[in-house]
Chain A
Amino acid sequence: MTGVTVSGLGVVVGRRALLTDVDLVVERGEVLALVGPNGAGKSTLLRAIAGDVDHTGTVTIDGVPAGSEPPIAAARRRAVLEQEHGVAFGFRVGEVVRMGRAPWRGTDRAEDDDRVVARVLDQVELADRIDQTFPSLSGGERARASFARITAQETPVLLLDEPTAALDLRHQEGVLRIARAHAAAGGAVVVVLHDLTLAGAYADRVAMLADGRVVADGTPAEVLTAERISTVYRHPVTVLPDPHSGIPVVVPTRQEAVQ
């Protein structure tokens, strides 16, 4: 079953084309990583899938065109983690995560609210912060609490914009493991990542964007080649196989680094 389809997508803001003729398919059970240099259009693509920007071409989630249904129906289909996770006023962590359950209010699934909130907070190791106010958390903890909020939404499709940006090594791995498990349970995940090694390790497929176009789309081994990365990112890299798993590890060449 198809999770997300994007075909002939174009986004123009002002006179600038942010995305041009983008085609993508994300099946259920799949994690797709969006990679590319700054300004390549990764976040714009994610927003287009979320139904937040005007676009040409078609974007569908579960066969339904993005932005065509009421917010509440869309909120039961896909959850979106944005790059910024501010919360106005001093809501407690538990209250913020519970806001992720809002789409299910008045349905049978609302009965699960307590259980789900407890489970997602436990997953991101914030169970003991449940009564702390959100603004008093550290940056990384806020990012994890926001991630917990969108997983609490229990939607088949997850759209994650740099979920690992503020996180330490352990929690980067943890968050992407949760995303993987989501796909394994039948969900579809689109995740914007800057760390190419993380993308290679956790994504089924990697789509590389440059200047608003998809320049490569395939398995990590197909897309993450030293030649392609060096060209697209305009910086020389070496790609080595991980000694344990064989997964590609991307190492930037550092000529001026201290020996």
Chain B
Amino acid sequence: MTGQGPLAPVPTRRGACGAAGRPSARGEARVAPATLGPVAQGVTSRSRVGRITLLTVGLVVALVAATLVSASVGQLGISPAEVLRTVGRSIGIPVAGPSDDLVAQALWTIRFPRVVMALVIGAALAAAGVLMQAVFANPLADPGVVGVSGGAAFGACASIVFGLQFAGYWTTPLMAFAAGLVATMLVYGLSRAGGRTEVVTLLLTGIAVNAFTGAGLAFLTFLGDQQAREQIVFWQLGSLNGSMWDQAAAIAPVVGLGLAGSVVLTRSLDLLSLGDRAARHVGVRVEAVRIVAIVVVALLVGAAVAFAGIIAFVGLVVPHLMRMLIGPAHGPLLLVSTLGGALLLTIADLLARTLVPYADLPIGMLTSLVGGPFFFWLLRRARRRSGGWA
């Protein structure tokens, strides 16, 4: 029997709110419980499923195209066909046509690692943005608010100024990663009271800790010699210049782990939008979900900033834009935001390399320069449409 549950509260009848169906706005007859078909199908929001599929396919196609273009454009012009031939040859597919060792070397040692870093970091930042906005039930939340970016910047700069070398070449990224994680835990620990965290307390604690790391950063900048200052500035501007395979290999597993963790959380994140108490009432272990989400954010952002420095706005703009397109359900939102973040950063890096000849612009500057006005435009548009946040 597929009927109602053990406790069917109300005998099936036409609307307990009265026998006379209110005339609906569209002038259709109200659907009686006996004919559930059309209503039941409506629940799955077919229009949204269609949009999600379309958007996913579109993003994948755009991502492949952007990757190809990014790999072919640069100081050494290489045709997309040549890029494909080089990739094909390397994975053992016999390809006809001329082979050029110089081209292959340029692609494999310079372009490809950089493209891969852009993909991985873009995906990580956008996914972290999705998680943060869900945990705070606020579309303006950004990974920065829990102190992960500030902490990471402080850690990286401390290693630069004090000339720390305990892990050799890996010291700065490791310090950035560790300090980001510590700052996040500190914010979380300080804002916990009686086994719970209030969102407002968390945000305000984040501001306090960010102010503290900001002061620390200023002090380090003051302490450092000219060369250290230069390094600090460039780290804070963000850049994918000089990306290498071992960097990609270091952050990809961390980001993969973070993305897997995010996927597990998505259903609970949907329910969190009901508010903490209501989410608990439908069975969510709110505190556990929040702790896991914040650790995952620290992993994703820590990995993203470790080598590339601070790249702002990706985590804010991408989930916001995607939510406008396909709605707020976090499963699909995470998927398309991850793709969208990877796409955005690939394009941003392409522009950073090519906008000014023989100059490698800081990518963080570029994302903020374009992201700021774009975000403002999105907000205005959303407000006009729905009188509030999308």
Which chain A residues have a beta carbon within 8 Å of chain B's beta carbons? 50, 52, 70-72, 74-76, 79-80, 82, 84-92, 94-96, 98-100, 102-103, 105, 109, 111-119, 121-125, 127-128, 130-131, 133, 135-136, 150-151, 153-156, 170-171, 173-175, 177-178, 181-182, 185-187
Contacts and interface: CB of A to CB of B under 8 A. Distances in A.
B29 to A, nearest CB: 10
A182 B10 CA distance: 6
Contacts of B9: 151, 154, 178, 181-182, 185, 187
Interface string B97-139: 0000000000000000000000000000000000000000111
B273 A70 contact: no
Interface in B1-58: 2-5, 7-12, 14-18, 21-22, 24-26, 28, 30-33, 36, 39-40, 42-45, 47-48
B45 A71 contact: no
Contact of A135 (B10, B22, B281, B388): B388
A75 B273 contact: no
25 contacts: A71-B281, A71-B286, A86-B275, A87-B273, A87-B274, A88-B273, A89-B273, A89-B323, A89-B328, A91-B273, A92-B327, A95-B327, A102-B284, A103-B283, A119-B12, A122-B33, A124-B17, A125-B22, A125-B30, A155-B7, A178-B10, A182-B10, A185-B8, A185-B9, A186-B7
Interface of B: 2-5, 7-12, 14-18, 21-22, 24-26, 28, 30-33, 36, 39-40, 42-45, 47-48, 137-139, 267, 270-275, 277-278, 280-286, 323, 327-329, 386, 388-390
Nearest to B328: A89
B45 A174 contact: no
B45 A131 contact: yes
Secondary structure class of chain B's binding surface, majority of residues: loop
A115 B283 contact: no
B297 to A, nearest CB: 17
Contacts of A119: 4, 10, 12, 33, 36
A174 to B, nearest CB: 3
B15 A125 contact: yes
Given A52-B277, A90-B328, A133-B386, A114 B138 contact: no
B378 to A, nearest CB: 14
A150 B279 CA distance: 11
Closest 3 CB pairs of A and B: A174-B17, A89-B328, A75-B283
Contacts of A87: 273-275
B196 to A, nearest CB: 11
A122 B18 CA distance: 11
A116 B4 contact: yes
B261 to A, nearest CB: 19
B10 A123 contact: yes
Contacts of A117: 40, 43
A94 B17 contact: no
A123 B12 CA distance: 9
A42 B92 CA distance: 73
B270 A99 contact: yes
A14 to B, nearest CB: 13
Given A87-B273, A135-B388, A182-B10, A72 B283 contact: yes
A130 B11 contact: no
Most chain-A CB neighbours within 10 Å: which of B48, B138, B271, B277?
Answer: B277
B386 A136 contact: yes
Contact of B4 (A94, A112, A114, A150): A112
A86 B277 CA distance: 11
A102 to B, nearest CB: 5
B16 A80 contact: no
Given A87-B273, A115-B36, A125 B282 contact: no
